């Protein structure tokens, strides 16, 4: 498989049977989001991720005192056009 789509595990199959996309589950905080994106491309800096979160270019879900982000939201932001930035 592609490095962007890892091999599905047993828990991923159970989640898929329930009807959820495993990449759409928000489970990463901002630091984990940076590390995930850094694993995909080296052209990402910590400040770029922080600025994208602050300007709500990457949408997160509020859980307690912090925001959690999904892998799907991270990939969508990474693939988005620079024309959308203001």
Q: How many CB atoms neighbour CB 30 within 10 A? A: 19
Q: 1 falls in which pLDDT band (50, 70, 90)?
A: very low
pLDDT at 6 over 90: no
Query: Burial letters for 61-85: b for 16+ Cβ neighbours within 10 Å, e otherwise?
Result: eeeeeebbbbbebbbebbeeeeeee
Contact partners, residue 27, CB within 8 Å, separation at least 6? 68, 70
Task: Quote the pTM value.
Answer: 0.70
């Amino acid at each position: 498989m592609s490095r962007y789509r890892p091999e599905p595990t047993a828990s991923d199959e159970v989640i898929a049977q329930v009807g959820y996309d495993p990449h759409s589950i928000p489970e990463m905080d901002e630091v984990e989001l940076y590390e995930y994106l850094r694993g995909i491309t080296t052209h990402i800096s910590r400040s770029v991720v922080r600025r994208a979160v602050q300007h709500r270019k990457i949408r997160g879900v509020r859980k307690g005192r912090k925001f959690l982000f999904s892998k799907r939201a991270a990939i969508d932001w990474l693939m988005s056009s620079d024309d959308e930035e203001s």
